[in-house]
Structures are given as C-alpha cells and as structure tokens.
Amino acid sequence: MLHSAMSCGACPVSSSKQTLYDQYVPILQRALSSAVAYLQGMEDRPVRPEAAAVDALESLRGPLQDAPESPEVILEQLDRVGAPATVAKNSGRYFGFVNGGCLPAAMGAAWLVSAWDQNASFWVQSPVAAELEATALEWTRELLGLPRGTGGAVVTGATMANFSALAAARHALFARLGWDVENDGLCGAPELRVVAGEEAHPSLSKALGLLGLGRSRVVRVPVDGQGRMRADALPHLDSRTILCLQAGNVNTGAFDPALELIPAARKAGAWVHVDGAFGMWAAASPASRHLTAGFDQADSWATDGHKWPNSGYDCGLALVRNPEELRAAMSIDAPYLVLGARREPADYTPEFSRRARGVELWAALRQLGRSGMADLVERTIGHARRFAEALRAAGFEILNEVVINQVLVSFGSKEKTLRTIARIQQDGTCWCGSTVWQGRTAMRISVSSWVTTTEDVERSVAAMLKAARE
Ligand SMILES: *Cc1c(COP(=O)(O)O)cnc(C)c1O
C-alpha cells in the first residue's frame, strides 16, 4: 500500500505518458493564437457573419471519416472555416436578444476549467468546482439583495433556472397537500395553479411544460403597456398557487410591481417565483436598485450569469429561499454515492454530470467586484438611454420606458421597421433583432456587454439612422 501510494506521488511519470500530455501543447498554443487573432479582429469584421462564410460551413459537414485526424488539422479548420461563421457576439456592437459578453477573467477561467476537465456533480469529484460554485451563488445572493440562507443551483441558463426553481415550488406546494410528487408523479395529484403575467418570458412556459404543470394551463394576468402585471387584475391566490413574477421584461426591461403583489401572495400562502434573468442584476447598482424593491420577499428566483454579469456562455442560477425545497426536488440516492455532509452540487441540479461553469461566474464576479458590477449595470443602462435619446431625436418612436438596458424602437410601419432592421443587420456595424411588442413591430436594442463603449453606441446610432433613411 505504502509502495503504491509513493509511486503515485513521488515517481516521475513515464516518458511515454508524458508524450501523451505533450500532445496538448501545440494544440493549446494553436487555440491561444487563433483566439487572440479572433478577438483582435473583432473590430474589423461585420458583427454578422458573411453569407459566404456561412456557406463554407458545408465543408465541415459530411460523414465521419474512418481514420483518426490530427488535432492540428482540426484546429486549423475550425479557425479557418468556423471562426468566420460566428456572430461577433463579444463585440461591443452586438445588441441582439439579451446576450452578455465574456469578461477576460471568465474566458481565462473557462480555458482552465477545460484543462481541468472537472465533473462538477459531487464535491469528491471536484472540490474546487463545488466550493467556487457555492461561493458564486452566495455572492450572487448578496448582489441581488436576497435573504440570507437562500441557496441554489448553477445551471445552463435562466430557462433551466426557472425549471429548477419551479421544481422546488412544485415540491413544496405538493408536500403541503400531503402529495409526494417526486415519487408519485402528477397522475392523480391534487391540482396546482400557476399564475403569470401575459408578458412572461416563453422559457417560463417551457419550464412549466417540462414540469407537467402545463404551458397553457397558466392563468394569465393582464399587463400594462410596459408589460407589467396589473396588481388590480390579480386572480384569487391560495396555497396551491405558484405566482410567477418578472424582474426585467425581455422586451421592455420592465419590472412587475413586486411591492404590491408579493405581500398579497404570501398572505394567501402562494409560492412566489421571480424570473429575473437579467433584470434582478439591477439590484447590484445603487442607481437602479429601487427597481428590484420587494422582489427579495419571493420564494425563488431565476437569473443568468451569462447576461448582465458577462460570465460567458453558459451559466444560469436558480435561487431558492429554503434550499431544502430544491434539494427535495433534485437529490438522488445510490449506494455508490458515499457522500459527506458538504453541499453536493448534484443534489440541487437537474443534471448529474456537468461542467464546472460556476468557476467562470466566480471569476467574472471576482474581476468586477461590487463596484465593477454596479458600474457595468449603470454603464449599459446609460448606453441604452443614449440610444433612445438619439433615435427619438431623429424622429423615431421609442415604444418603452427605458428603465434598464432595453430599448424598443419603431421606424414607422411594420414593413419599414423590418426593412430597416434587415439593412442594419446587413450593414454589419452592429446587430439588433426584431420583436412584436403588444402588436407593434419593433427593433430591440439590448446593451448587455462590458465591451460596449460610447463610441460603439455612436457608431451604431449612425448606422441605424443611415439604414432608416435609405
Ligand atoms: C433570457 C431570458 C430567459 C431565458 O434565459 P436563458 O439563459 O436563455 O435560458 C428567461 N427569462 C427572461 C426574462 C430572459 O430575459
């Protein structure tokens, strides 16, 4: 025993084994130089990929060949054919969807995480992954102003965060009714009711569908012109109800009136869940914190690391006031899982094996610090306001109150707006998508990246105005 223990720790690795590890070296060097060239070329390329680059992806298709291929050839191909077919999402002029950039510390951490190749399911498989994700969750809890003792899970995005938090809600409400939903399922179960606003994010419906709570069984609450749930239109709530609120509408950035809604819901014994994919991060800045007032009174929250905190793709967080409810919904037992008393990531996540994405969030939050996170939120909100002001001054209609980093602009009729968006995308200076907001076609501008500068905003405004006048 002693001998084998010593031979592990103290003997040099055999030279043939070393040769296997040596194979990583030129590949990682190649990846580094390609990545650096890619990032340094970001300013000189259109934000959208060229049509020819997308067509060239054809050369990467075809059947898998018989013989092995050299990693160098593969990296060369990815760099030559793959990179040009990317969207320059990490540029300062990508305003599509709500997509954050990737901070340098997060990107570097992602590379290390790949080199470590950790499985973040159990502490024993990766102490570093387990510890750093717990720390990142705790930092997030604090930045979002959520109650002490809140715990949660690091997942792929807000969709899975909604799913996970709602699984905790489902568990808790059924448990109160004496029904064991994890073991006995939904057939024959008492009924739960889900209440959500008419402008809830579609990923919430998807999560409810996956949970067997149904996409279309949701009771929809009418909203105002900004997409905020109308407190006066709230239906009857009881202890069988999950009320889903939103902090940050994906189109307008608006927040449901938590201060009015949550106390009533809690009094009725309902579970309150908050989809705060990006909006909850407004709590990280003293200038916008007021928008999140009252949301801390909820039972669960979903948010994203990859949106406002710029931790890179992918990372979402499910946070639950009583983490035992999440654990009850997610944990599994097996004889080979001899675990200690520590927090085990897989007890809280829908997944078993998973990559250590919590490390990247930890690194992103470390790079920012509290003041950096506040600054990122304020800066991007400032950019959004500048967009709104410049486009309004040019005679175009801004459809939303720009409360955070989202702007909706109409360039006139539906046809004119869609034509303008197509021209903006084709021009390539920046990238914005379209939406239909309460019946009106609009362009969405979401400023979510740490890279975006005032100059990026002015260049983009100029490109938008040029496209609108053509
Ligand atoms: C982006 C978003 C989601 C979905 O998040 P993913 O990270 O893409 O899974 C859910 N809700 C809101 C409000 C969002 O903005």
Ligand 1 nearest-atom number relative to CA 162: 10
Does the structure show a pLDDT above 60 at 285? yes
Which pLDDT band, with edges at 50, 70 and 90, does 17 fall under?
confident
**What pLDDT is attached to residue 428?**
97
In testing the pocket of ligand 1, which one of 275, 300, 361, 408 has its CB within 8 Å of the most ligand atoms? 275
* Ligand 1 center from residue 201 Cα (angstroms): 7
**b vs e for 122-148, b when ≥16 Cβ sit within 10 Å of the residue's Cβ?**
bbebbebbbbbbbbbbebbbebbebee
Does the structure show a pLDDT above 70 at 402? yes
Ligand 1 nearest-atom number relative to CA 246: 13
**Got the DSSP string for 167-207?**
HHHHHHHHHHTT--HHHH-STTPPP-EEEEETT--HHHHHH
Per DSSP, the three-state class of 440 is strand
Ligand 1 nearest-atom number relative to CA 159: 9
Q: What is the pLDDT of residues 414-460, one digit of tens each?
A: 999 999 999 999 999 999 999 999 999 999 999 999 999 999 999 99
Q: What is the pLDDT of residues 410-423, one digit of tens each?
A: 999 999 999 999 99
What angle (nearest 5°) sits at the alpha carbon of residue 400, between those of residues 394 and 401?
100
Q: What is the mean pLDDT of residues 252-279?
A: 98
Ligand 1 nearest-atom number relative to CA 278: 15
Closest C-alpha to ligand 1, atom 12: 277
Of all residues in the chain, the percent with pLDDT exceeding 90 is 93
What ranges do the domains of the chain cover? 109-365
**What pLDDT is attached to residue 341?**
77
Q: What is the mean pLDDT of residues 355-362?
A: 98
Q: What is the mean pLDDT of residues 305-324?
A: 98
Q: What is the mean pLDDT of residues 254-259?
A: 98
Q: State both tokens at 247.
A: 């902090």
State the sign of the Cα–Cα–Cα–Cα dihedral 150, 153, 158, 159: negative
Does the structure show a pLDDT above 90 at 97? yes
**What pLDDT is attached to residue 211?**
98
In testing the pocket of ligand 1, which one of 201, 311, 315 has its CB within 8 Å of the most ligand atoms? 201
Residues in contact with 285: Cβ distance below 8 Å, sequence separation at least 6, in sequence order: 373, 374, 375, 377, 378, 381
Ligand 1 nearest-atom number relative to CA 276: 13
Ligand 1 nearest-atom number relative to CA 97: 1
- Stated as kind and residue range, the H or E segment containing 278 is none
In testing the pocket of ligand 1, which one of 166, 250, 404 has its CB within 8 Å of the most ligand atoms? 250
272 near 262, Cβ under 8 Å? yes
* Ligand 1 center from residue 316 Cα (angstroms): 9
**What pLDDT is attached to residue 16?**
79
**What pLDDT is attached to residue 340?**
67
Q: What is the pLDDT of residues 22-80, one digit of tens each?
A: 999 999 999 999 999 999 999 999 999 999 999 999 999 999 999 999 999 999 999 99
* Ligand 1 center from residue 58 Cα (angstroms): 31
314 near 156, Cβ under 8 Å? yes
**What pLDDT is attached to residue 5?**
43
CATH number for the region 109-365 comes to: 3.40.640.10
Does the structure show a pLDDT above 80 at 336? no
Q: What is the mean pLDDT of residues 12-20?
A: 75
* Ligand 1 center from residue 419 Cα (angstroms): 27
**What pLDDT is attached to residue 15?**
74
**What pLDDT is attached to residue 31?**
97
* Ligand 1 center from residue 351 Cα (angstroms): 19
Half-sphere exposure of 36 (CA within 13 A, CB side): 6
* Ligand 1 center from residue 303 Cα (angstroms): 8
* Ligand 1 center from residue 310 Cα (angstroms): 14
> What is the residue-averaged pLDDT of the chain?
95
Which pLDDT band, with edges at 50, 70 and 90, does 4 fall under?
very low
Closest C-alpha to ligand 1, atom 2: 277
* Ligand 1 center from residue 157 Cα (angstroms): 7
Q: State both tokens at 126.
A: 């990766």
* Ligand 1 center from residue 53 Cα (angstroms): 29
Between these two residues, 234 and 5, which has the higher pLDDT value?
Answer: 234
Ligand 1-lining residues (CB < 6 angstroms): 98, 157-159, 201, 203, 246, 248, 250, 275, 277-278, 304, 316
Of all residues in the chain, the percent with pLDDT exceeding 70 is 96
Q: What is the pLDDT of residues 384-400, one digit of tens each?
A: 999 999 999 999 999 99
Ligand 1 nearest-atom number relative to CA 316: 7
Does the structure show a pLDDT above 90 at 335? no
**What pLDDT is attached to residue 2?**
38
Bridge partners (DSSP) listed for residue 413: none
For 279, which DSSP code?
G
